[in-house]
Amino acid sequence: MRRSIWTVVLSLILVIGIVVSSASAAVELIYTYWGSPLERDAQAKMCRDFEKAYQSIFPGIKVKDIYIPSNYDEKINAMVAAGEPPHVAQLGEALALEWAEKGILMDILPLIKQDKDPSVQIENRLSMTWYWYDKGKKTIGTNLAAEVMVLWYNKEIFDKAGIPYPASNPEAWTWEKFLDTAIKLTTDRNGRHPGDPEFDPSNIDTFGVAFGTWWAPILPFIWSNGGDICDPEGKRPLINTPASVEAIQKLADLMLKYHVAPTPTQMQAFPALRIALQTKKVAMYIDGQWALLDLGQMAKEGRIKLGVAPLPKLRKPVCLELGAPNVMFTASAQKYLKESWEFYKWTTNSEKVISLIRGGLWMPLQKWYYTNPKYMSQWLDPEVHPSEYKPAVIDYLLKYGRRSPSYYLRNWGKISDIMYQELTNVWLGKVSAKIACDNIANKIKPLLVGRYDK
């Protein structure tokens, strides 16, 4: 009996407590994101920092950061469909603009115009990183971080072979020099190089270069050769024009003709490319800037002499910039517009996640990080970022940067998947680049229905 009274009293207290606390409940913003444990920790900390910094302006404000390590698209779709989108979220580039057009994501241009915060002004962030839509009149904002495709290399292999490092100047780093370097660095089991009549392509110890066959490592070369996937209006395929085909064929030739690059099946011997680079299975490899997170750590521990270069140019240098946007969801952000906006700015203010940037995973968004030496020293860690990082990555990006089609092209998800599928047979040497590109052109024709920003 006594116990039951206590139960009643306790539950009453509990109920009252809940009612009271919900009555005075302060705003709780929801932020969803994905990433590695490192990104999780850094972003969680960023949220806590925000709570602390804004306690005086928005008393009691809380950020509920939901870390979704897998099946992100399913979850975010379900949340949106159920009418409970987060306030601010990381979002895959394939869905972002489609949702923006439908009004699900917020056009933040009016907010930017009213705000004096320099970190969010259009002209203060890398121009490539803005996601524009509605003929370029609206924007959902920028990436969470900038990323570019670069060429990583192991300096020790170069030193040992007595070959000069790749040029940091994109104009000087030509395809011919690149191919020549790759040939000299490729060695079979008996120390022979491609071109030697006794070279044994089935027993290669060190590959000159390696690259993945998804769109990001391929596209800059197509562009560099003067080709493209489609015309600037996004209406007509150009993937089967001679310039595009030639670039793809040249990449395929690296694998099949010169044997200086592993084919996709040979690549499987090293899914962790950074390890291949460190263990000298590969001398150079083309990958995202983000690889620096692990490579830089290895460099810091003295396990690799790391170098970085721009991608070699075919005709003119091109630097591919890419990344997934951080966005505000209209339905939820509208309710707490001030809070959501301040938080959004916070998440895309590189200063707040400088640890991830200094660690090598991300690149900053605000231009002053690229031009002002004072800011540069905040994120360029000499132990992590190789000495030629500035000319080879920063200047390369600033001068030759071009944003990936994911920023503007409609149906990009489908188009890039079709390219990937059709090109698989090129890398295996079953069809020529010309045939595959003709197929791609035919198949993507109905999908080329213009751009979001034009």
Partner 1 sequence: MALSKSLSIKIGKTITYIILILGSIVFMLPFIWLLRSSFMELGQIFILPPEWIPRPFRWQNYPEALTAAPFLTYFLNTLKILIFNESGVVLTSIICAYSFARLRWPGRDLIFAVLLTSLMLPYAVTLIPTFILWKMLGALNTFIPLTVPAWFGGGMFYIFLLRQFFLTIPYELDEAAYMDGASPLKVLWSIVVPLSKPAIITVAIFNFIGVWNDLLGPIIYLSDPDKYTLAIGLSVFRSMYTAQWHYLMAASVVVLAPVIVIFFIGQRYFIQGIALTGLKG
Partner 2 sequence: MRKKRSLYSNEAKWGIILALPAILGFLIWTLGPMIASFVLGFTDWNVVSTPHLIGVGNFKKMFVEDFIFKKSIYATVYYSVGSVIASIIFAFLIALLLNQKVKGLPIFRTIFYLPSITPAIASAMLWIWLFNPDFGLLNQILQRFGLPRLLWIYDEKQVIPSLIFMSIWGMGGMMVIFLAGLQGVPQELYEAVEIDGGNWWHRFRYVTIPMMTPTIFFNLVMAIIGSFQVFTSAYIMTSGGPNYASMFYVYYIYLSAFRYGQMGYACALAIILFLIILSFTLVVFKSSPYWVYYESARRR
Binding site for partner 2 (CB under 8 A): 73-74, 77, 80-81, 92, 94-95, 98-99, 102, 104, 202, 263-266, 268-269, 271, 411, 413-414, 417, 420-422, 424-425, 428, 443, 446
Instruction: Identify what 135 binds: partner 2, partner 1, none; CB under 5 to 8 Å per kind.
Output: none
Sign of CA dihedral 200, 202, 207, 211: positive
Supply the minimum distance, in Å, between the C-beta of residue 428 and partner 2. Answer: 6
- End-to-end CA distance of the chain: give it in Å, rounded: 74
**CB closer to partner 1 out of 78 and 449:** 78
Residue 195 touches which of partner 1, partner 2, none (Cβ within 5-8 Å per kind): none
Closest to partner 1 by CB, 58 vs 290, is 290
Pick one of partner 1, partner 2, none as the site partner of residue 94 (Cβ within 5 to 8 A by kind): partner 2
Residues lying near partner 1 in the complex (CB under 8 A) are found at 34-37, 39-40, 64, 66-71, 74-75, 77-78, 81-84, 268-272, 275, 278-279, 288, 290-291, 293-294, 361
Binding site partner of 342, from partner 1, partner 2, none, Cβ cut-off 5-8 A by kind: none
Q: Which is nearer to partner 2, 92 or 391 (CB)?
A: 92
Shortest Å distance, C-beta 229 to partner 1: 23
37 binds, among partner 1, partner 2, none (CB under 5 to 8 A by kind): partner 1
Nearer to partner 2 by Cβ, of 73 and 171: the residue is: 73
Provide the minimum distance between the beta carbon of 361 and partner 2 in the complex, in angstroms, as a whole number. 22
Q: How far is C-alpha 239 from the chain's CA centre?
A: 23
Q: Which is nearer to partner 2, 49 or 438 (CB)?
A: 438
| HEC per residue, the chain | CHHHHHHHHHHHHHHHHHHHHHHCCCCEEEEEECCCHHHHHHHHHHHHHHHHHCCCCCCCCEEEEEECCCCHHHHHHHHHHCCCCCCEEECCHHHHHHHHHCCCECCCHHHHHHCCCHHHCHHHECHHHEEEECCCCEEEEEECCEEEEEEEEEHHHHHHHCCCCCCCCCCCCEHHHHHHHHHHHCEECCCCCCCCCCCCCCCEEEEEEEECCCHHHHHHHHHHCCCCCECCCCCCECCCCHHHHHHHHHHHHHHHCCCCCCCHHHHCCCCCHHHHHHCCCEEEEEEEHHHHHHHHHHHHCCCCCEEEECCCECCCCCEEEECCEEEEEHHHHCCCHHHHHHHHHHHCCHHHHHHHHHCCCCECCECHHHHCHHHHHHHCCCCCCCCCHHHHHHHHHHHHEEECHHHCECCHHHHHHHHHHHHHHHHCCCCCHHHHHHHHHHHHHHHCCCECCC
110 binds, among partner 2, partner 1, none (CB under 5 to 8 A by kind): none
Between 396 and 407, name the residue whose CB sits nearer to partner 2. Answer: 407
Residue 243 interacts with which of partner 2, partner 1, none, CB < 5 to 8 Å by class? none
For the CB of residue 451, give the shortest distance to partner 2 in the complex, in Å.
17
Which of partner 2, partner 1, none does residue 421 bind to, with CB < 5 to 8 Å depending on kind? Answer: partner 2
Q: Between 316 and 445, whose beta carbon lies closer to partner 2? A: 445
- Min dist. Cβ of residue 66 to partner 1 (A): 5
Selection from partner 1, partner 2, none that 294 binds (CB < 5 to 8 A by kind) is partner 1
Choose between 298 and 428: whose C-beta lies nearer to partner 2: 428
Nearer to partner 2, 126 or 216 (CB): 216
